[in-house]
């Protein structure tokens, strides 16, 4: 079974700062997901990536398959980026669905 | 092109009642996943369905919970004889196939009185 670990658990930063959230997993996977959840809100899928790097606006996601590690970066952070960011991976062993990290609570202060 | 639609957004039930949660996948998506998010906990996989078939229900509690995805209409997650511990946010996701990204709905917040 895949163990998905995220760090940090909580992160408070000032507007404009460069943000990095890390994710590691224990079982080799085909692709990893980064999700965003606002308090009391729905879940938005930000990225699904299987190698290298993807960029969407101010968000960048990278993955190193050999090291079983992924990072989510936010450039020029803004208060509206405040949310929980969740890393998710297939559970492994042919099982279905996703296994989720506990999430990183990000607060960007103006 | 509507996203994944879940209803109701909020559902309140008394202990012992039944709860029915609905999920309409995105157009063209035949794969549906249900996840549960308990208060102060992470998301957990419950069940994976394709049209008219349950593919993987390894995350479903053995009793009181059932899911279906009929040929016509939305996927339904049904919880019978609800208890306080069933209070959670239930999210549905859909994808066109196993290898594609899952798109999530806004969830149903279930509260048990």
Q: Which candidate from B55, B56, B105 shows the least CB-CB separation from A42? A: B105
Q: Which candidate from A30, A95, A101 shows the least CB-CB separation from B58? A: A95
CB contact under 8 A, B104 and A97: no
Q: Which residues touch B107 (CB under 8 Å, ≥6 apart)?
A: A42, A43, B6, B9, B37, B89, B90, B91, B92
Q: Which of B41, B45, B105 to mutate to test the interface with A (most CBs of A within 10 A)?
A: B45
Is residue B1 scored above 80 in pLDDT?
A: no
Residue A37: name the closest of A74, A86, A107, A89 by CA.
A86
Distance CA B56, CA B61 (A): 12
- Cβ neighbours of B53 in A, within 8 Å: none
Average pLDDT over residues B50-56: 92
User: Would you call B26 an interface residue with chain A, using a CB distance cutoff of 8 Å?
Assistant: no
Whose tokens are 């999430």? That residue is: A103
The predicted-structure confidence for A80-99, as pLDDT tens digits, reads as follows 999 999 999 988 777 788 89
CB contact under 8 A, A100 and B42: yes
Distance CA A44, CA A99 (A): 16
Cβ atoms of A36 and A83 within 8 Å: the answer is yes
CB contact under 8 A, B91 and A45: no
User: What is the model's pLDDT at position A23?
Assistant: 97
- Cβ neighbours of A96 in B, within 8 Å: 33, 45, 48, 55-56, 58, 98
Distance CA A13, CA B76 (A): 41
User: What is the model's pLDDT at position A31?
Assistant: 86
**For residue B71, what are its two tokens?**
């040929």
The predicted-structure confidence for A20-29, as pLDDT tens digits, reads as follows 999 999 887 8
Side-chain-side CA neighbours of B76 within 13 Å: the count stands at 13
């Amino acid at each position: 079974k895949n163990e998905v670990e995220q760090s940090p658990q909580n992160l408070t930063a000032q507007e404009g700062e460069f943000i990095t959230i890390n994710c590691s997993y224990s079982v080799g996977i085909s692709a990893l997901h980064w999700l965003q959840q606002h308090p009391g809100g729905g879940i938005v899928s930000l990225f699904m990536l299987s190698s290298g790097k993807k960029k969407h606006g101010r968000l960048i996601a990278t993955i190193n398959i050999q090291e079983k590690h992924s990072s989510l970066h936010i450039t020029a952070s803004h208060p509206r980026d405040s949310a929980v960011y969740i890393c998710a991976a297939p559970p492994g062993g042919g099982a279905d669905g996703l296994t989720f990290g506990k999430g990183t609570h990000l607060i960007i202060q103006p | 092109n509507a996203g994944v639609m879940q209803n109701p957004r909020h559902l309140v039930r008394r202990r012992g009642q039944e709860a029915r949660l609905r999920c309409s996948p995105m157009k063209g998506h035949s794969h549906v996943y249900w996840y549960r998010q308990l208060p102060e906990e992470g998301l957990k996989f419950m069940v994976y369905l394709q049209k008219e078939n349950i593919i993987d229900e390894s995350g479903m509690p053995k009793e009181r919970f059932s899911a279906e995805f009929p040929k016509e209409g939305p996927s339904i997650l049904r919880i019978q004889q609800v208890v306080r511990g069933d209070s959670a946010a239930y999210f549905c996701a859909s994808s066109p196939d196993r290898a594609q990204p899952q798109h999530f709905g806004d969830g149903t917040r279930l509260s048990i009185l």
